[in-house]
Copies of this chain bind each other. A is one copy, B any other.
Amino acid sequence: MQRIPVEDYAARIRELFASVRNRPQEFVPIALAADRVTAAEVRSPLDLPIFRNSQMDGFAVHAADVAVVPVVLPVRGEVAAGAVDPHALQLGTAVAIMTGAPVPAGADAVVPIEDTRAAGGGVEILRTRASGEYVRAAGSDLSAGSLLLPPGLRLASRHLAALAAANLSEVAVRARVRVAVISTGNELVEPGGPLGHGRLPDANGIALASAATAAGAEVVAVELTGDDPARLAAVLERTISGGAELVVTSGGISMGAHEPVRQLLEPLGAAVGTVDMQPGGPQAHGTYRNVPIVCFPGNPVSSQLSFALFLAPLLRETAGLTAVTRTALPLSAPLTSSPGRRQFLRGRRTADGGVETVAGPGSHLVAALAAADVLIDVPADVTALPVGATVDTVEL
């Protein structure tokens, strides 16, 4: 693989990604469906409201009986919310009714309690009400078979409430791609423990796993495999047998003596080469047991930028999430850039609506990346830009 432009490499990864064996959708309980994206339109199986019910506490009546007021009607019983099959209303009578309770057959209006007054064994109706008043017709919100939720909708509480109201306890959502994250490198140890000489806490595992989750994927494994290609192979076998549909690795793809990813995958046909970008130039990709494997460099800044540029857009698209935002912004401070390679400088938005760089271009600046909120995309032939120049930024 020659040194290739970022867009060409992104296209190659897109092609590889097309072979991910992800299911088109899965059904999840509504209690677990928040922030998932509908895979298909949802039609209501029922009228909403499900049955004709009262909008007020008051009295269900035959509207014709209250056409002239005041009038006293005998009260024949009460209908509470949840009442089972209330008796039909007899003409010339009223039935006490609660908000939400089913309106009895024969009744076609509800007189709110504040327009009435107790009168012996009956109720005095003080205000006339037309047929339909304070009665919520079945299907007046939505009729059975109508569209309840469109496809591609990111589910928030009000959507889940509508599903529940239609008596749906599950919903078909875009399936998450099952991703395994593997960090290589003998120098890496789990964060939080004692660090021996030359040892480094692994930042790639958490970085790539949480970025994949944020992009709508399901992370099924986060592993450290050192520098031994055989150990890497064993972890690939296990995670792929366990259902991983995409593997993301970091490290082990350079020209050195200890490059387990390259050593294992290049003989299997993986492409290893350099993309015209800094940080993140060295890149590789291939398949293992027909599962796509995307291999980023080991430096945590390089791996994070690589993920943002090559995998986040594809995973977000699959999950039905909004695309990664690219915005042209004016520089709030001048910028210098190394010649010869396209640079993705770390930047942050400024109070004046512009953007400025955060620290230098180095691929080891993990803390500086944490202080950034955008990447500034600087073409290879640009070495300096003045205040006010427009730059292309990628949202982090």
Contact = CB atoms under 8 A, between A and B. Distances in A.
A142 B256 contact: no
Contacts of A372: 158
Nearest to A102: B198
Given A148-B370, A364-B141, A210 B80 contact: no
Given A136-B362, A187-B82, A113 B367 contact: no
Contacts of A85: 197-198
A177 interface: no
Interface in A112-145: 113, 136, 140-142
A185 B254 contact: no
B149 A80 contact: no
A202 B303 CA distance: 46
B80 A186 contact: yes
Given A198-B85, A396-B156, A254 B191 contact: no
A366 B141 contact: yes
Given A100-B298, A185-B82, A165 B34 contact: no
User: Is the contact region of chain A dominated by helix, strand, or loop, or is it mixed?
Assistant: loop
Contacts of A83: 187, 198
Contacts of A99: 254, 256, 298-299
Copies of this protein in the assembly total 2
A51 interface: yes
A369 interface: yes
Interface string A214-225: 100000001000
B197 A84 contact: yes
A365 interface: yes
Contact of A201 (B51, B167, B200, B359): B167
A369 B159 CA distance: 8
A227 B258 CA distance: 69
Contacts of A206: 30-31, 157, 160-161, 163-164
A156 B210 contact: yes
A232 interface: no
Given A136-B362, A141-B364, A367-B142, A84 B196 contact: yes
A7 interface: no
B367 A195 contact: no
A355 B176 CA distance: 33
A61 to B, nearest CB: 18
B34 A158 contact: no
A329 to B, nearest CB: 19
Nearest to A208: B157
B141 A167 contact: no
A141 B81 CA distance: 65
A64 interface: no
B198 A51 contact: yes
Which 3 pairs between the two chains have the least Cβ-Cβ distance?
A169-B192, A82-B187, A161-B207
Given A34-B213, A160-B210, A165-B200, 18 more contacts: A31-B209, A55-B363, A81-B187, A81-B258, A82-B198, A83-B198, A98-B258, A100-B187, A100-B200, A101-B198, A102-B198, A141-B359, A156-B210, A156-B396, A157-B211, A158-B396, A162-B366, A167-B192
11 contacts: A30-B191, A48-B367, A50-B200, A55-B363, A55-B364, A82-B187, A82-B198, A100-B200, A161-B207, A164-B207, A165-B366
